[in-house]
Structure 1
Amino acid sequence: MASKCCENVSLLVCLIIIMFGMGSWIAINGIWVELPLLVDQLPEGWNLPSYMAVVTQIANIGPLTYILTNVSCPSRNLQRPVVYAMVIIGSAASFLLAFYWTRTSVVGGVEHSTALLVLMFFLSFVDCTSSVVFLPFMNVFKPEYMTSYYVGEGFSGLIPSLVALGQGVGAVECVNQSFTNTTTNVTEFSTGAVYLEPHFPVKYFFLFVFSMMVTCGIAFVLLNNLPLCKREYADRESKITHSYDLCEEINMVRTQKIVSETHGDEEPEQSVEHHATVIKLSKCSYLYLLIVIAWTNALTNGVLPSIQTYACLPYGSESYHLAVTLSQIANPGACFLAFFIPGTSGTVLGAVTLTGSAVSAYILALAVYSPTPPLVGSATGPVLAVASFVLVFFLFTFAKVNIATVLRHAGGRGLLWCGAVTQLGSALGVAAIFVVVNVYQAFVQKYPCT
């Protein structure tokens, strides 16, 4: 199966699609990994992430507007013009961010990072909309290229993390500090965290993000105009339609003895290399897949990143940064596994989702018990915390890639609704954990050097 998939794709086209997919979330991921440097210089301090989360959710007006326009005017092909507009907006915003991110202004009598938040809105607008524009664009290509897009999307989180790691973001030094107690007039001593100077400034990091957005735009131009890429478009004149019910045991990749939509007889085996197979999903199957997509994105894009500091910092700053970086590496790793070993059957998807949910529950328990979670102070605790984040992102990415492949075979607006539900699940996850963290204050933060 792996050899057949490899023979049916162009490695150069895969690379171009990966570069295109990298532009999907790299701008927002870039801002979040720079947080330790941003909060040290901006007036909001560590309240800045809550403002950023709100701005990101407001930006969901982008995908909502696109979906409503697409549904109300299905005959208008807005996909390519919208992608070009998004790349231009994302490139301009990231470029301006490099020079103006420190600009502040007084709003309602309080100083705020207006330049950063306004530019972040435009970047969030682009990245959120990418879920309902970039992903459906992959309908143009053979289904085998879906994995390449998800690899690129994974790199959009991995590459900024690696660059920030080389920059030295979050490196702290514990120093003894003295202060005078105004009540007792006695000098007291404590240990505090001092963030070390980065190897290069924030400005250069945002210019790097700008270059990645430009690379995404160049890749999109190539995908639309390069003859090599056009040869990899899906064959829309030769399609085989099958019924497909995930409520029964299914396996889309190894399509054997699948009943035809129009006839009850078995179709003769067709070569995947020469035909575009279209699978007709039942309502039960469609709903199941969309629920899984919503659930996995609610956890990976909303809940787990929001509680990562609570779950990992009690084990040390090194454990936190390893969890952030290695979980991003797990994302493209899961995509590569899905390319060579597809897992689209109902049993596999269910098992992967349940296992990932169980690991997520363990991570949630670590956050609840912060600042003294189980095995704190031992060698086993940080290993389990880091491994849990890596495993859950690996499993959920594997599930998302395979579900997107199924929906790609379903044709129609399958990938559009996949992107829409991705954003819906992410938004619900962020909203739910925001209430738990900020309203009910269910978690206690462990700060470095305390």
Structure 2
Amino acid sequence: MGKDNCCERRQSSLFVHLIVCLLGIGSWIAINGLWVELPILVQHLPEGWSLGSYLVIITQVANIGPLVFTVATTLAPGRVQEKPVVYVIVTIGTVSCLLLAFLWDRTSVIAGKEHSTAFLVLQFCLALVDCTSSVVFLPFMSVFKPQYMMTYFVGEGMSGLLPSMVALWQGAGAVRCVNQTNVTIINTTQHTGASFSIHPEYVEPNFPVRDFFLFLFVMMLVCGIAFTCLNHHPACKREMVRTQKVVEDIADHTSDHDPAVQEIVYESRSKGTDNKTTDESGNLTESGSSSSRLLEGEQSKYSSVVDKSSADVSSSAVKISRPSYPSYVYLLVLTVWINALTNGVLPSIQSYSCLPYGTEPYHLAVTLTSISNPLACFIAFFLSTMSNLVITFLTLLGSGVAGYIILLASLSPTPYYVGETTGAALVISSWVMTTLCLTYAKVSIATALRKEGRQGLLWCGATTQIGSAAGAIIMFVLVSIVNSFTAAPMCPV
């Protein structure tokens, strides 16, 4: 397994890895950025700390985007392509981030109550972009060699790390505990008594919210440029699987966009293989070297592509072990479970599980969790596995540690070992371990599902959103409606 990975890395392009990583960063950076900026936003927007509940609900409503795309591609295969959809959603995300920089604090009165309407509307646009990216970015990656799938997930992990680092530099959420003296009059002779209390006070940020949203705007713009490079830069085209590149060459030279050609393009994407794409000079090998020869006749054009596609699939049958149908379904179920935990349940209770041990352990847990996500993807890049046994073990291990975190949150504000160094060390290490295990399992599942081609990655993205939405809705009910968790004071007495 290690020798194969080394060979694959030698055959890949560092430049393309960088471009793919930038594409992955743009997948969720907007919504992640809003969450890390929340401690500053709640000080200025009329919703206050209930703004977090609005973010959760609006994000789940935005799942209408991936739902529509998945249904459309299922009912009309070959007619709904990822490329135009990606260009649309990246444009929406870029424009929304730019508008947020200047309109985020605009409010209006609705039903007699003041609301931050501009922020909420633009947040819905960003949520629509990020949710839909799960079902369009992954299928698009099926046209590239499989080693780039790991790089995409590294970028997706960094979509949480980068805004966290910028927000940390900004000072978002930084709090100092201030002593306050309360003077009370005991009787009419003006005898007074004094009492002391400690209350949290937010530190003034190092730069304004507008600059943070401009940072998100730049990153979304970079994501759009990266996607354009992946489609048109010669170095990126050389890293596409051969069958995909041949049929795209045909489609590009067909002026009437014949539906038969488009169907062939779709079928080739669904059967993406790991074969070599081009020779050293960047030209297609053998019968795929000249687009003019492919376009000599309509009948020969179609048959040559179909024959070549079949030959490529057959030649790679020995190398590629596609998962059986039960295994395929099992991996999708695991995807739902893992994303319900990582994107829904655990983020909702992080403050409840960590804050009882103090603000420093809390911020350290948040930072190390953000680092652990891309770190797990790096580990998967150099030490990958597609064994269902290993994936199941890591999922169970990560879920078990997540159960301990949920237990600590349910015991807030007095969980085990509160006020002790042991408790802080345990909660921090638990967050790091569960993130490493579940992220590694998630990346391994996506790599295995890539063997199913475009359709496998489409359903991987769809089940990712299903799990995330289910986990977020359940926790919204438990946290905001049932009030099952009690927050610890930021400044202990």
Tell me if structure 2 keeps the 8 A contact 1:278–1:410: no
Cross-structure match for 2:338: 296
Distance in 2 between residues matched to 1:205 and 1:394, nearest whole Å: 28
SS at 1:189 equivalent: strand
Cross-structure match for 2:238: 231
2:199 aligned with 1:192, yes or no?
A: yes
Distance in 2 between residues matched to 1:423 and 1:412, nearest whole Å: 17
Alignment of 1:355-366 (within 5 A): 355-366=397-408
Among 121, 125, 134, the residue aligned to 2:124? 121
Alignment of 1:279-428 (within 5 A): 279-428=321-470
Distance in 2 between residues matched to 1:94 and 1:447, nearest whole Å: 33
Q: Which deviates more from structure 2 when the two are superposed, residues 16-25 or residues 172-181? A: 172-181
Identify if the C-alpha distance between structure 1 residues 107 and 404 changes in structure 2 by more than 3 Å, giving closer, same or farther.
same
Distance in 2 between residues matched to 1:376 and 1:429, nearest whole Å: 27
SS at 1:24 equivalent: helix
Q: How many residues are treated as equivalent by the alignment?
A: 418
1:73-104 superposed Cα distances (whole Å, 9 cap, x missing partner): 11214210010001110000011111111111
Distance in 2 between residues matched to 1:182 and 1:57, nearest whole Å: 52
Structure 1 stretches of at least 4 aligned residues deviating more than 3 Å after TM superposition: 178-189, 274-280
Following TM superposition, by how much is the alpha carbon of 1:382 offset from its aligned partner in structure 2, in angstroms? Answer: 1.1
For 1:386, give the aligned amino acid.
Answer: I
Following TM superposition, by how much is the alpha carbon of 1:29 offset from its aligned partner in structure 2, in angstroms? Answer: 0.3
Q: Which deviates more from structure 2 when the two are superposed, residues 164-173 or residues 18-27? A: 164-173
Among 218, 221, 230, the residue aligned to 1:214? 221
Identify if the C-alpha distance between structure 1 residues 374 and 142 changes in structure 2 by more than 3 Å, giving closer, same or farther.
same
1:354-397 superposed Cα distances (whole Å, 9 cap, x missing partner): 00000000000110110011111111111111111111111111
For 1:3, give the aligned amino acid.
Answer: C
Calculate the TM-score normalised by the size of structure 2. 0.82
Runs of 5+ unmatched residues, structure 1: 239-252, 254-273
Following TM superposition, by how much is the alpha carbon of 1:278 offset from its aligned partner in structure 2, in angstroms? Answer: 4.5
1:107-148 superposed Cα distances (whole Å, 9 cap, x missing partner): 111111111111000000000000000111101101111001
Distance in 1 between residues matched to 2:186 and 2:449, nearest whole Å: 66
Cross-structure match for 1:41: 44
Tell me if structure 1 keeps the 8 A contact 2:139–2:454: no
Q: Matched residues, percent identical?
A: 55
Runs of 5+ unmatched residues, structure 2: 246-273, 275-314
Tell me if structure 1 keeps the 8 A contact 2:143–2:244: no
Tell me if structure 2 keeps the 8 A contact 1:279–1:410: no
Distance in 1 between residues matched to 2:106 and 2:6, nearest whole Å: 54
Distance in 2 between residues matched to 1:71 and 1:178, nearest whole Å: 66
Distance in 1 between residues matched to 2:332 and 2:195, nearest whole Å: 57
SS at 1:140 equivalent: coil
Identify if the C-alpha distance between structure 1 residues 358 and 182 changes in structure 2 by more than 3 Å, giving closer, same or farther.
farther
For 2:42, give the aligned amino acid.
Answer: V
2:149 aligned with 1:142, yes or no?
A: no
SS at 2:178 equivalent: strand
SS at 1:206 equivalent: helix
Tell me if structure 2 keeps the 8 A contact 1:335–1:398: yes
Cross-structure match for 1:13: 16
Among 430, 437, 449, the residue aligned to 2:479? 437
Distance in 2 between residues matched to 1:237 and 1:225, nearest whole Å: 14
Cross-structure match for 1:266: none
SS at 2:79 equivalent: coil
Cross-structure match for 1:54: 57
For 1:329, give the aligned amino acid.
Answer: I
SS at 1:111 equivalent: strand
For 1:96, give the aligned amino acid.
Answer: L
Following TM superposition, by how much is the alpha carbon of 1:181 offset from its aligned partner in structure 2, in angstroms? Answer: 7.0
Cross-structure match for 1:160: 163
For 2:224, give the aligned amino acid.
Answer: G
Calculate the TM-score normalised by the size of structure 1. 0.89
Identify if the C-alpha distance between structure 1 residues 63 and 315 changes in structure 2 by more than 3 Å, giving closer, same or farther.
same
Identify if the C-alpha distance between structure 1 residues 182 and 59 changes in structure 2 by more than 3 Å, giving closer, same or farther.
farther
For 2:361, give the aligned amino acid.
Answer: S
Distance in 2 between residues matched to 1:186 and 1:73, nearest whole Å: 77
Identify if the C-alpha distance between structure 1 residues 82 and 181 changes in structure 2 by more than 3 Å, giving closer, same or farther.
farther
Distance in 2 between residues matched to 1:283 and 1:194, nearest whole Å: 56
SS at 2:243 equivalent: coil
Distance in 1 between residues matched to 2:99 and 2:438, nearest whole Å: 34
Larger Rg: 2
Q: Which deviates more from structure 2 when the two are superposed, residues 79-88 or residues 384-393? A: 384-393
